[in-house]
């Protein structure tokens, strides 16, 4: 970290352990960007919010559904974003994969509008955006077959999308597990903006770098 502080103006770190990010950052004299950790994925969520606002206007007062694993880096960062950007987040997940107590304590303290339900229909009802992610994340040390089975009813399909607003967007941070967390019909459908999200990551990352430098 000390050597890299001499080499560079910014460090971006992607790591399986969030503790690595925190430990590394202690010894840097330059900004560090969390490119991804097992605990959070803030750059991706900023891109998602930007993509929503580019398409629909301010996300403040809107509602977003998250289906699948409620205790991964994306859902954690979405909970934080709900508190920062004033939108309602409805997480549909099995009880086994609910958000952890630490992030929910933060949500309550920061008055984040977060609903957690094991009913996928309740999660997507009348929302402005439906989001999901791969059911088995990188470095996810679980029984993959068992996890996928428990998340099966949280698949984003046309039936669930029809419960959201007719103008609702579908988002996915990619790469995608087609036929698992989402059907081809949804990800390739008119409500999907996943390819725009992929493009916007370039521009949002540049803006984060610009913010760090200034």
Check whether the bond before 32 is cis (ω within 30° of 0): no
Q: Determine the Cα–Cα distance for residues 68 and 136; give it in Å rounded to an integer.
A: 10
Choosing from 48, 69, 128, 133, which is the catalytic residue? Answer: 133
The catalytically annotated residue of 43, 93, 129, 173 is: 173
Find the catalytic residue in 38, 41, 155, 191: 41
At 23, list the tokens.
């430990």
C-alpha 184/C-alpha 191 separation (Å) is 12
Q: Is 126 considered catalytic here?
A: no
Residue 14 a catalytic site member: yes
Task: Let me know if 178 is a catalytic residue.
Answer: no
Q: Sheet containing 88-92: give its strands across.
A: 114-117, 88-92, 63-67, 129-132, 169-172
Q: Which residue has the tokens 């997507």?
A: 124
Selected catalytic residue, list 44, 155, 191, 197? 44
Residue of 14, 86, 140, 205 marked active site: 14
Helix %, strand %, coil % for the chain, to 5? Answer: 45, 15, 40
- Say whether 128 is catalytic: no
CA 165 from centre of chain:
20
Catalytic residues: 14, 41, 44, 133, 173, 201
């Amino acid at each position: 970290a000390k050597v890299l502080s001499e080499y560079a103006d910014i460090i971006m770190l992607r790591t399986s352990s969030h503790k690595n990010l925190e430990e590394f950052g202690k010894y840097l004299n330059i900004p560090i960007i969390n490119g991804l950790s097992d605990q959070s994925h803030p750059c991706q969520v900023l891109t998602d919010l930007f993509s929503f606002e580019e398409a629909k206007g301010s996300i403040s007062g809107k509602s977003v559904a998250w289906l699948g694993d409620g205790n991964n880096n994306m859902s954690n960062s979405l909970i934080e974003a709900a508190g920062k950007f004033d939108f309602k987040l409805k997480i549909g997940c099995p009880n086994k994969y609910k958000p952890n107590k630490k992030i929910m304590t933060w949500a309550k303290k920061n008055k984040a509008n977060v609903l957690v339900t094991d009913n996928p229909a309740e999660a997507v009802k009348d929302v402005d955006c439906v989001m999901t992610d791969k059911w088995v994340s990188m470095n996810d040390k679980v029984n993959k077959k068992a996890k996928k089975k428990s998340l099966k009813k949280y698949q984003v399909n046309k039936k669930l999308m029809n419960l959201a607003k007719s103008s609702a967007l579908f988002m996915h941070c990619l790469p995608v597990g087609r036929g698992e967390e989402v059907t081809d019909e949804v990800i390739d459908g008119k409500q999907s903006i996943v390819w725009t999200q992929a493009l916007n990551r370039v521009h949002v990352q540049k803006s984060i770098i610009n913010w760090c430098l200034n």
